[in-house]
Amino acid sequence: MANSEFRLGRIQPAPENFLTDEQIQSVKEGRRDFLRKAFLGASAAMMAPAVARAAGEGDPAILNLPSWTTSLGLPVATHPYGLPSKYERGLVRRESPGLTRVGGSSVSFTPLQGLFGIVTPSGLHFERHHQGWHDIDPSQHRLMINGMVKTNSVFTMDDLMRLPSVSRIHFIECGANTGMEWGNVAVPTVQYSHGMLSCSEFTGVPLKAILDMCGADYKKGRFILAEGADGSSMTRTIPMEMVESGEVLVAYGMNGEMLRPENGYPLRLVVPGVQGVSWVKWLRRIEVGDKPWGAKDEAVHYIDLMPDGQHRQYSSVQECKSVITTPSGGQILLDKGFYNVSGMAWSGRGKITRVDVSTDGGINWRQARLETPVLSKAVTRFNIDWVWDGKPAILQSRAVDDTGFVQPGYGQLRAARGTKSIYHNNAIQSWKVVESGEVSNVQVL
């Protein structure tokens, strides 16, 4: 609790108050002259000591009953499919300007800076398409199984949805997540640095059950090819060991409803712990074979360039990684005092066993609380108490998984792989906090 009697606001006015609605309007109308003044005024206000905004009886937000307390609200089913509050409109998927050239072969990033817990709202799940997306008629969708099987087979959605199903929570991370940061800081916020990450509950059928039905030759057929039904007909090779373990799913459900079209409606592969490109969307075919396929996205992309000029091919696992999402780059702390530092940790090799947090750039560390559930190959939420004394700080998180692997620093990662590999950057992220409360993206060795 703050001790000042009428501590109605914060010491620092929230930055969205920099401009009044009228000022915003005049910017739109092309008048900009006042802007400079407005910012000067705002920064002066930020220097000012604590001022109780409404001395006297108390907070107008309490004393003057608001309209929602004194009027009738909206009826049920105003939105037959519910929408977030209009005040949440800033937290949407966004592209990183200049990263790609056409929207049909591009990425939109999940706003991790605003998410809680471990599940990504389906409408905010990141997107990566290679040849645009379609909303496929599920009654016309087919899954074919062929290759080293006894019976080449075809399944309709009706067929697949009749089979015994499982529901599992897993993260999906694009192999290129944090790829822009290999050489240097390139983006301002966690949305762009880590937002090709989502975590959902997926419902579907273990692929093993389907391959069993078709009589797969597990002895010779040690690889499978997954293929999409879109124009790119994305293909990726997946080891049969993962299928046999039962963890690879042919999934139609996501967070209690069907998959969203952007995420592969009506059918996608779920390959826990492996980079998103292998989770083939709009899945139309699985082939069983005795050798990997060297597809475009495993021979031209999703290959990691090493300093000696060799590319690592078939690099698929997303290694242990974590990031603090609050506070994070591009944000401002409004005041000194208590904060709940919160973030996400995940590992493609299993469960998160601990996360440590440093506020001094990695000299000293404290163990964070892991919130339940802690699931294998899923995002784990961590939290830790922090009292900010108003002095510069550098926040970092470092995750450990149940293989004992400790998330590396930039120095270690670059020593092993250089700075040009694009994919699989799982380095410790640093957020610098300065006296004004501004948080920014920095790299620390």
Partner 1 sequence: MSRFSKTLMALMVAAAATSFVTPAAAFDRYQGVGRPATAAEVKAWDIDVRPDFVGLPTGKGTVDQGVELWETHCASCHGAFGESNEVFTPLVGGTTLDDIKTGHVKSLVTGSSPQRTTLMKVPTVATLFDYIQRAMPWTAPKSLKPDETYAILAYLLNLADVVPADYELSDQNIREVQERMPNRNGMTTDHGMWPGAPLAKGGLGNGGKPDTKNVACMKDCKKEVQIVSFLPDYAQDAHGNLAEQNRPVGQTRGKQTGEPSAAAGGGTQTAAAAALALAGEKGCMACHGVANKIVGPGYNEILAKYKGQADIETKLIAKLKAGGQGVWGAVPMPPQGHVKDEELKQLVQWILEGAKAQ
| Site for ligand HEC, residues 113 to 152, rule: CB under 6 A | 130
| CB neighbours of residue 11 within 10 Å | 18
- Under the binding rule (CB under 6 A), the answer on residue 424 touching ligand HEC is no
Cα separations in angstroms, 212 against 163, 288, 352:
13, 12, 32
Which are the contacts of 422, defined by CB distance < 8 A and separation ≥ 6?
A: 176, 179, 182, 304, 305
Q: What is the dihedral of CA 178, 182, 186, 190, to 10 degrees?
A: 30
CA distance 423 to 442: 19
20 part of the interface to ligand HEC, by CB under 6 A: no
Strand partners, 395: 431
433 touches, from ligand HEC, partner 1, none (C-beta below 5 to 8 Å by class): none
> Any contact of residue 110 with ligand HEC (CB under 6 A)?
no
Q: Which is nearer to ligand HEC, 119 or 299 (CB)?
A: 299
Q: Specify the amino acid at residue 326.
A: T
- Which residue number, 49 or 73, has a Cβ lying nearer to ligand HEC? 73
Structure tokens belonging to residue 324:
């603090």
Nearest to 241 by CA among 226, 221, 215: 221
Query: Strand pairing of 337-346 and 380-388?
Result: antiparallel
Q: How far is the CB of 281 from ligand HEC (least distance, A)?
A: 13
Q: Are residues 376 and 353 in contact, defined by beta-carbon separation less than 8 angstroms?
A: no
At 191 the three-state DSSP class reads: helix
Tell me how far, at minimum, the Cβ of 40 lies from partner 1, in Å. Answer: 13
Query: Taking the complex as a whole, how short is the minimal distance between the CB of residue 379 and partner 1, in angstroms?
Result: 18
> 180 vs 374, which CB is nearer to partner 1?
180
**Residue 94, contacted partner among ligand HEC, partner 1, none, CB below 5-8 A by kind:** partner 1
| 312 contact choice in partner 1, ligand HEC, none (CB below 5 to 8 Å, kind-dependent) | partner 1
Q: Provide the mask over 216-255, with x wherever binding to ligand HEC is found by CB under 6 A and - wherever it is not.
A: ----------------x-----------------------
By the rule CB under 6 A, 83 interacts with ligand HEC: no
Q: What angle do CA 218, 222, 223 make, to 5 degrees?
A: 125
| Spatial distance between the Cα atoms of 353 and 383, rounded to a whole number of angstroms | 14
Query: 25: which 2 tokens?
Result: 């309007």
Is the CB of 130 or the CB of 381 nearer to ligand HEC?
130
Nearer to partner 1, 256 or 340 (CB): 340
Amino acid at 190: V
Choose between 256 and 290: whose C-beta lies nearer to partner 1.
290
- Kindly tell me which of 71 and 364 has the beta carbon lying closer to ligand HEC: 71
Choices 296-304, 346-354, 367-375, 413-421; region in contact with ligand HEC by CB under 6 A: 296-304
Residue 103: name its binding partner from ligand HEC, partner 1, none (Cβ under 5 to 8 Å by kind): none
Tell whether residue 281 is a contact of ligand HEC (CB under 6 A). no
Token pair 């784990």: residue: 380
Nearest to 207 by CA among 254, 267, 276: 267
Query: Alpha carbon of 25 to those of 20, 42, 97, 116: distances in Å?
Result: 9, 18, 25, 33
Is 76 a residue that touches ligand HEC (CB under 6 A)?
no
**CB 301 → ligand HEC: shortest distance, Å?**
6
Nearer to partner 1, 138 or 239 (CB): 239
Out of 31, 53, 296, 366, the only residue in the binding site for ligand HEC (CB under 6 A) is 296
User: Can you give the binding site for ligand HEC, defined by CB under 6 A?
Assistant: 72, 102, 105, 130, 232, 296, 300-301
